[in-house]
Amino acid sequence: MSIFSKIKRSKGDPKILRSGPSSLSSGDRLAKRLGWLGIGLGVAQLVAAGSITRALGMEGREGLVRAYGARELATGMLSLSTEKSLGLWGRVAGDGLDIATLAGELDRYNPKRANVAGALALVLGVSVLDLVAALATTARHRRSQGKQVSYRDRSGFPHGVKAARDAGNRAPAARSRPEPSRPVAFPAG
């Protein structure tokens, strides 16, 4: 690892003066933020399950909070990866679970009802963002986007495949080289 931390760009290399348009869309950027949010929340749920259950009046359900934390962590990491759509849809499904669980704690005998309501509002807000990001990245990265073209006419051989094959069959020198790893010639120059 330490060798990677020593890497620097060389002195004479071009430097950025102004940054321009990126390959990342706004949906991709949102996915990144949500991914990091998920990882942060996941870690918090895993290491501080006790404080969370106390704050929500859910004592005794630490195991569930930790399991949800693991889920947040997994879907968060996926949302940061090249499989981000999968991660975001996983987050949307997870939001459903969170909402159902919190709604169940919203009964009037829970002394921490106000905290639960606050948490629920937060989750509802995030779930809208998750849904927006999931829809946006799915649409943007779907393979079927754009035209479907056939390249069945592109042989690359100006005289046709048959002529190329014939040339190949006629050229024994090119066909078999006892030591193909030996150089053919010194570079042009």
Partner 1 sequence: MRALVWHGKEDIRYDTVTDPEIEEPRDAIVKVTSCAICGSDLHLFHNFIPAMLPGDIMGHEMMGEVVEVGHGVNGKLKKGDRIVVPFTIICGECDQCKSGNFSLCERSNRKKELGDTAYGHAAAGLFGYTHLTGGYPGGQAEYVRVPFADATHIKVPEGIPDEQLLFLGDIFPTGWQAAMNCDIQPTDTVAVWGCGPVGQMAIRSAILLGAKQVVAIDCLSERLGMAEAGGAIPLNFEEESVIDRLNELTDGKGPEKCIDAVGLESHITMYQPDTVLDRAKQMFMLENDRPHALREMIYVCRPGGTISIAGVYSGLSDNIPLGQLMNKAVTIRTGQTHVNRWTDDLLRRIEEGQIDPSFVITHTVALADGPEMYKTFADKQDSCIKVVMRP
With respect to partner 1, which residue has the nearer C-beta, 7 or 100? 7
Smallest gap from Cβ 138 to partner 1, in A, equals 11
DSSP conformation class of 182? S
For residue 78, CA distances in Å to 36, 45, 54 come to 10, 18, 30
Looking at residues 157 to 176 of the shown chain, list those that interact with partner 1 (rule: CB under 8 A): 157-159, 161, 164-165, 167-169, 171, 174-176
Are 116 and 110 spatial neighbours (Cβ–Cβ below 8 Å)?
A: yes
With respect to partner 1, which residue has the nearer C-beta, 60 or 189? 189
Please choose, from the candidates 107, 138, 132, the residue with its C-alpha nearest in 3D space to the C-alpha of residue 120. Answer: 107
Please choose, from the candidates 112, 111, 114, 68, the residue with its C-alpha nearest in 3D space to the C-alpha of residue 93. Answer: 68
Are 49 and 108 spatial neighbours (Cβ–Cβ below 8 Å)?
A: no
x/- track of binding to partner 1 for residues 37-76 (CB under 8 A) = ----------------------------------------
Q: Measured in Å, how far apart are the chain's first and last C-alpha atoms?
A: 40
Smallest gap from Cβ 106 to partner 1, in A, equals 36
With respect to partner 1, which residue has the nearer C-beta, 8 or 108? 8
Looking at residues 126 to 155 of the shown chain, list those that interact with partner 1 (rule: CB under 8 A): 140-155
d(CA 15, CA 156): 40
d(CA 127, CA 99): 9
User: With binding defined as CB under 8 A, does residue 36 bind partner 1?
Assistant: no
Smallest gap from Cβ 130 to partner 1, in A, equals 19
Q: Given candidates 46, 77, 129, 131, which one binds partner 1 under the rule CB under 8 A?
A: 77
Binding site for partner 1 (CB under 8 A): 3-4, 6-10, 12-24, 28, 77-78, 80-83, 140-159, 161, 164-165, 167-169, 171, 174-177, 180-189
